Amino acid sequence: MSEAYELTLKISRYDPDNGRSWIQSYDITGGRILRFVDLFRKINDEQDPTLAWSSSCEHGQCGTCGLKINGKPLLTCELLVENAVRIFKTTTFTVEPLTVAPLIRDLVINMEEAYEKVHSVKPYILRPAPEHPDGDEYRILPRVLETYVEATRCINCFSCATACVTRKNYLGPNAMLANIVRLMDPRETAKQERRDILYSERGTPRCRTAQACSYVCPKDIDIAHFIALAKEGEFE
């Protein structure tokens, strides 16, 4: 049955024109299956057009709308009002930007800086394996693909990097994953270069196995499992 909730959103604001930061509280009525991105749009339409927030596909495929809701990093396009009320047992929510990159305005961050870590692990095949003798595509058996296919589902929303207990000098779980995918992909032959990245000072030694990455991943990827494989020497 249809039902609406009286909600309070306490949203982190930041104005780059004068450097001011503050928390702004919005009271808003939200239908049962409205998503948080719908609430932000509703605030823009009905109360405050100046609130800046990010989204793109709005169905969990691009990873643009990640925010911290009551401290937990998640995709706000996937968070329905009724689920939020149930999960957090409240109708008051703090809304903060992810902490992986500098702020531009309000909830919008400069994701380019966060992406630098992903770029640094070279998210492409460095040196492809030679062609199959019979031509056409490489042959990859389903059971081989299955060992790493979950890791290919990462959308770089940086929820894991936000939740990670290691704050400094770490590639972060998602960039680690981008490297591990290519270590497990039989088409990549530059395994040593990939291992050098994996076991570098910014790699596995920085992971403290708190598994917060797996806990928050909106795609339910067990990121900690892949990093554990690396630590156990699976790729040596």
Partner 1 sequence: MTDRLHIDSILTPDVLIIGAGGAGLRCAAEIGERRPGISVVAVTKVYSPQKSHTAAAQGGMAAVDPNDPVDKIIYHMFDTWKGSDCSADQNIIKKVCESAWEQILWLERHGMHFSRTEEGRIAKRPFGGHMLNFGEVKASRACYEADRTGKGIMDTVWGEALRHGVVFLNQSVATELLFRNGRCVGAVVFIEQNGKFVAVLAKATVMATGGKTRMYQVSSNCRQNTGDGLVLVLQAGLPVMDLEAVQFHPTGIVGPGILASEALRGEGGILRNKDGEPFMERYAPTAKDLAPRDLVSRCIMTEIREGRGCIHPDHKLPHVWLDLRHLPEYVHKTRIQEVCGFFCKFVGVDPQRELCPVTPTAHYQMGGAPTNEFGEVERRPGEIVPGLYACGEFAAASLHGHNRLGTNSLLELITMGRVVGERVATYVHDAEDAGPVPQDAGQHVFRRFSRYLESGGHERYAEIRKALKKLMTEKVGVFRTGEGLQEAVEELTDLKERAGRMALSGRSLVMNQELLQFWELDHLLEVSMVIAFGALARKESRGAHCREDYPKRSPEFHYHTLAYMTEFGKVTLGKRAIDMSIFEARGEHHEKFGIIERKY
Question: Which stretches of the chain bind partner 1, using CB under 8 A?
Answer: 1-2, 15-17, 31-33, 35, 44-46, 48-50, 52-64, 78, 80, 104-105, 108, 110-112, 115, 119, 122-125, 128, 131, 136-142, 144-145, 149, 152-153, 155-156, 182, 185, 187-188
Residue 123 or 206 with smaller CB distance to partner 1: 123
CB of 87 to partner 1, least distance (A): 13
Residue 155 or 216 with smaller CB distance to partner 1: 155
What is the rounded distance in angstroms from the CA atom of residue 206 to the CA atom of residue 202? Answer: 6
164 and 176 in contact (C-beta within 8 Å)?
no
Residue 140 or 165 with smaller CB distance to partner 1: 140
Q: Is 212 exposed, middle or buried (0-12, 13-18, 19+ CB in 10 A)?
A: buried
Residue 159 or 207 with smaller CB distance to partner 1: 159
For 184-209, letters b (16+ CB in 10 Å) and e give: bbeebeebeebbebbbeebbbebbee
105 and 97 in contact (C-beta within 8 Å)?
no
CB of 208 to partner 1, least distance (A): 27
CB of 209 to partner 1, least distance (A): 27
CB of 217 to partner 1, least distance (A): 13
Residue 1 or 236 with smaller CB distance to partner 1: 1
Helices (H), the chain: 36-46, 81-88, 111-120, 142-148, 159-163, 173-184, 191-198, 212-216, 223-231
CB of 72 to partner 1, least distance (A): 16
**Helices 173-184 and 111-120: angle between axes, nearest 10 degrees:** 30
